[in-house]
Copies of this chain bind each other. A is one copy, B any other.
Amino acid sequence: MASREAAPAEAPPRVPSPAPAAAAAAVVAPAAPSKYSSRVVLRTVLERSDGGLGLVGEKLVVGGWVKSSREEKKEAPAAPAPAPPVQDKVVGAEHKDVSCVELFQTRIPIFRSIMKVFGGGGHPTRQRIEAAGAKPGPVPSPPPPSIALLQISDGSCVATLLVEVDSSLASPSLLLPTGTCLLVEGTLTKPETQGKHTVELKAENILHIGMVDQDSYILSKKRLPLDSLRNSLQFRPRTTTVASVMRIRNALTFATHLFFHDNGFLNVQVPIITSTDDEGSSQKFHLVVLPGLTDSKRDQTVVKGSDGVSVEAIKAAAREKSKLVEELKRTDSNREALVAALQDLKKTDGLASQLEAQEKLKRGTPMNAEEMKFFEDFFPNKTYLTASGRLHLESYACALGQVYSFGPRFQADRSESHKEAAEMWMVEVEIAFSELEDVMKCAENFFKFSCKWIMDNCAEDLQFVAKRIDKASIDRLQSILSKPSVKITYREAVEALKKAADNKEMKIEEGGALTAAHLSYLADEIHKSPVIVYNYPKEVKPFYVRQNDDGETVAAFDMVLPKVGRLLTGSQSEERIDLLSKRMKDRGVPQEQYEWYLDLRRHGTVKHSGFSVGFDLMVLFATGLTDVRDVIPFPRSFGKADC
């Protein structure tokens, strides 16, 4: 155990200050301290090309969670005399006089600092180590001196940092459980024996311990399968696999914005709440407004915007209103004044029944359908959660040229597909003055750019996930960059499937839809590469897809990936109003919902095309995982909306 008695570092790392007014100490530490937190991010140490060697000897503050640990018996130290062990529970119930997580002043010799914890040591403020989360218990008898060897991760990279903590600093029993949170100051050293780590940290000050109750902490068990982890969404990102998946997802998110920015696209945030049915191909979530009833604070704000209006005043206004309505029915004189008065009362319209229904719910009285209905009238029309933003995006493409959107889309689908969830993020693109070929090229370039981006920026994560999940996943990514996608027409796809179809599931008839199984067969078995299928029969694609000159097919395409299936779907939109109207009529699409959409053809219509990417499926492809619920931070699917 070297370096304990080393000279104090010249430039102490940044001291977090509990009082915002106090200026933070100057940052000079060469190991890139985090700008906005009181520690050095581990990635900046561990992912250096020298593995951190160039930082050896530096004093750092690092934080993270224990991934694995062991305890080693300690040889008797020379001097000074071993400090008494830290109590398991330093902080009691009285939080008031404890300034938690304060950094020991690094210029004070370490022994004095520790003594201060127990004796107050001549310093006016009491400085303590907080062991948060611990239950008060009896003070244990001093254990024999030992060293806790802790592998900690702060979620910034795959690699962990080995931290050595002498039992004189904190009892190993506090530190060893998996999941324990640690903020620790120490010196970076080269391990005495060559192991898998290039550097390790010798702890000198423990600044914070966030304890774990091993019995109830789900991650105490080794290697939980992914489907079990889905029941503990709040802890899932603490596993190495899910953390890697989420970092890859993050990189793909940034790559998306970067690609479209660099190609001159404008981001447009399309609405989630929509009054149109979009593609009409799935069930929708319908919106109603219910008053919140659980939080006392919220109750006061249910009729926000009408502060100070009492139930009585609202009821009086409602009575007044009914009287006026009656009068309007009876008389023709003084009509204007009555209408004006009615308008004035309209402000309180509904508030009385809202408050009444709210009280009813509070008492637990069930509401009838009519009362339920009251809460639906937030919007005058039926509203849904959007399943696709492409129609809305068209409106912006027909004004700004090249636009894209990236956001959550919804379908209330009761199926149990591993490739679908109730809430999924989609990248949607729309380009004015473009045709099918243009967007097929754009879709392919976007996909390739994204694959290259993560290969350049997430190598460690991709390798870790490949090792754990699917060894072929990196090869698949690499092959994307090395060759163009296969492009075949629907007709060619059907021919190929007919030839290959030796099982029932693959049976296909000319003109019928290509199922997920068909598409996967094309990518997985026939071409063993991404496949773009285009020019579909018009019957199997949405009403807004542009009819080809043959009158039979439409300018639509799908892009299918090995293992994942259909990643994206795109089309040229029908810009000719007569053909579009006819198509809507043939399909029974309610034209009145789409007047605004038809307007885009009535006035200054233009050829335009676009596509929608299942973003979560892209993460699936990148990681080799098979269930979208494992790549979505908080997945929602039929029967499941935890957290």
Contacts and interface: CB of A to CB of B under 8 A. Distances in A.
A576 interface: yes
Interface in A359-380: 366-369, 372, 375, 378-380
Given A234-B600, A237-B396, A437-B17, A295 B589 contact: yes
A640 interface: yes
A346 to B, nearest CB: 11
Interface stretch (A105-113, A260-268, A317-325): A260-268
B636 A379 contact: yes
A210 B289 contact: no
Contacts of A369: 366-369, 372
Given A247-B266, A412-B289, A208 B596 contact: no
A511 interface: no
Interface residues of A, number: 182
A538 B305 CA distance: 23
A587 interface: yes
Given A132-B576, A407-B408, A273 B641 contact: yes
A222 interface: no
A52 interface: no
Interface in A1-21: 16-21
A39 interface: yes
Contacts of A213: 602-603
Contact of A181 (B19, B180, B604): B604
B261 A596 contact: no
Nearest to A634: B271
Given A263-B35, A634-B392, A415 B304 contact: yes
A633 B266 contact: no
A366 B642 CA distance: 32
Contacts of A41: 264, 401-402
Interface string A531-549: 0001100000000000101
Contact of A378 (B301, B400, B414, B642): B414
Nearest to A44: B264
Interface stretch (A140-148, A196-204, A275-283, A471-479): A275-283
A288 to B, nearest CB: 5
A405 to B, nearest CB: 9
Nearest to A216: B602
Contact of A432 (B37, B588, B605): B37
B436 A20 contact: yes
Q: Which of A304, A383, A442 gathers the greatest number of chain B CB atoms within 10 Å?
A: A304
A557 B276 CA distance: 40
Nearest to A605: B210
A283 B291 contact: yes
B268 A246 contact: yes
A38 interface: yes
A433 B37 contact: yes
B303 A414 contact: yes
A65 B604 contact: yes
A302 interface: yes
A440 interface: yes
A275 B634 CA distance: 11
The residue among A39, A100, A285, A417 with the most chain B CB atoms within 10 A of its own CB is A285
A90 to B, nearest CB: 13
Interface in A126-141: 132-133
A173 interface: no
A417 B307 CA distance: 13
A503 interface: no
A425 B96 CA distance: 38
A233 B415 CA distance: 35
A290 interface: yes
A298 B273 contact: no
A555 B298 CA distance: 22
A526 to B, nearest CB: 19
Contacts of A276: 643
Interface stretch (A80-88, A250-258, A493-501): A250-258
A487 interface: yes
- Of the candidates A269, A298, A379, A633, the one having the most CB atoms from chain B within 10 angstroms of its own CB is A269
B280 A292 contact: yes
A210 B414 contact: no
Given A549-B18, A634-B392, A287 B289 contact: no
A506 B589 CA distance: 54
Contacts of A440: 20
Contacts of A368: 369
A439 interface: yes
A211 B236 CA distance: 55
A326 to B, nearest CB: 25
A122 interface: no
Contacts of A99: 549
Contact of A435 (B38, B302, B398): B38
Contacts of A557: 20
Given A41-B264, A295-B590, 4 more contacts: A155-B266, A233-B596, A285-B288, A378-B638
In the A-B complex, the 9 residue pairs with the smallest Cβ-Cβ separation, listed nearest first, are A305-B415, A155-B400, A280-B295, A237-B399, A181-B604, A210-B605, A37-B434, A271-B634, A289-B412
28 contacts: A16-B435, A35-B445, A38-B434, A66-B604, A93-B578, A97-B549, A155-B399, A179-B603, A180-B604, A183-B607, A208-B606, A211-B603, A237-B399, A246-B268, A246-B400, A273-B423, A280-B295, A287-B385, A288-B288, A294-B588, A305-B416, A368-B369, A378-B412, A378-B639, A379-B639, A380-B640, A392-B643, A408-B408
